[in-house]
Structures are given as structure tokens and as C-alpha cells.
Structure 1
Amino acid sequence: MNIKPLGDRVVTKMAEAEETTQSGIILAGSAKEKPQFAEVIAVGPGGVVDGKEVKMELKAGDKVIMSKYAGTEVKLDGEEYVIISQKDVLAIVD
């Protein structure tokens, strides 16, 4: 199955949360921070969103930093994705 985002939406796959601290302490599931790094899987077409022209600046394969609690989490074919608006992407990581 494929996800095709609409408008200024972006489908991302989150990086794995850290399971140990730098000093080697193993974190419990509830102590893990939600990661802010993700890989862009699919990008919507852009166009007019809320009366404003939106040009998509992202492409599939980009590594990005996004707002910590942005988006909608979805599970498809056993994989977890987050669908966010392009404005929730803070930076592209090279």
C-alpha cells in the first residue's frame, strides 16, 4: 500500500528512539524521548493551502528535524509513519 499526501502534507518515518544514554544506562519505554529526526517518505503536491500558494521545498529521501509533537501518527503494513504539514519541518539535515 502507498501513502500519497495531499496539499502541503509530508509523510515521514521517524528515527528510532535512543534506548540507552551516553553513559550506558538502558531507558525504560516511558523514559524514551520522542525523536525529532525523520526521513521524508512522500511529499504532497503543494498548491493553494488556506488561500496561500505553497511551494514544496522537501523531497523524498530528505532527512529532517521536525517539531516534537507535530503530525498524525499512522500505522500501515506494520510500519509507523507521521504525516505532518511542511510548516512543521524545522530544518533539512545534510
Structure 2
Amino acid sequence: RSSWGGDGLQGHVGKSSCFVATYPPNPIATRVVTALGGPTQYIFGNLTVCGTRWSAGDKQPSLRGLSKAQQDLLMDVHAVVCEETVGASPQG
């Protein structure tokens, strides 16, 4: 989450990702979001993460690409989550 006018991360899932029959459970995405301080809710299907930035006077953050530091953070968290999840391995 971005705050104080700084950078943050925002995750997006498809609107239909809450339908269990439509998409398979994604335990890796669920654990990555939790590890990054996001809401503790189970994610089905794919997760897209982008950067955010608050500007003065904005009511919502603007979306942007990930900085190098954000990319490194996501890769590190993803790798740890995969190591802790039985039978999973990190993939690009």
C-alpha cells in the first residue's frame, strides 16, 4: 500500500476469480499477498501486481510499472513462499 505520497503495490484479480469452479485455487498468490501485508483472502486464478503512486490531490493512486526495488521484493517473497509451499517451485 502506498502512503504519505510514496510508492506502493496493488494486486489485481479478475472479477470472476472468486468463482471456485472458474479458476483453480492459487495458494502461492494467496501467500504472497499475505506476506506483503495484503488482505487475508483466498485467491483463485491469476494475480497481477503493479506499482502505485499517490499524487497530491488524488483520491486514488495512479497505477505504474514496478520499480527495480519492487521487482526484487516480489521475486524474493515469491521465492520464499514457493520454498515453504510443499511441491511448488518458483517460476518467472
TM-score scaled to structure 1, two decimals? 0.27
Which structure carries more relative contact order (alpha carbon 8 Å, separation 6+)? 1
- Normalized per residue, the structure richer in strand is 1
Q: Which has the higher helix share?
A: 2
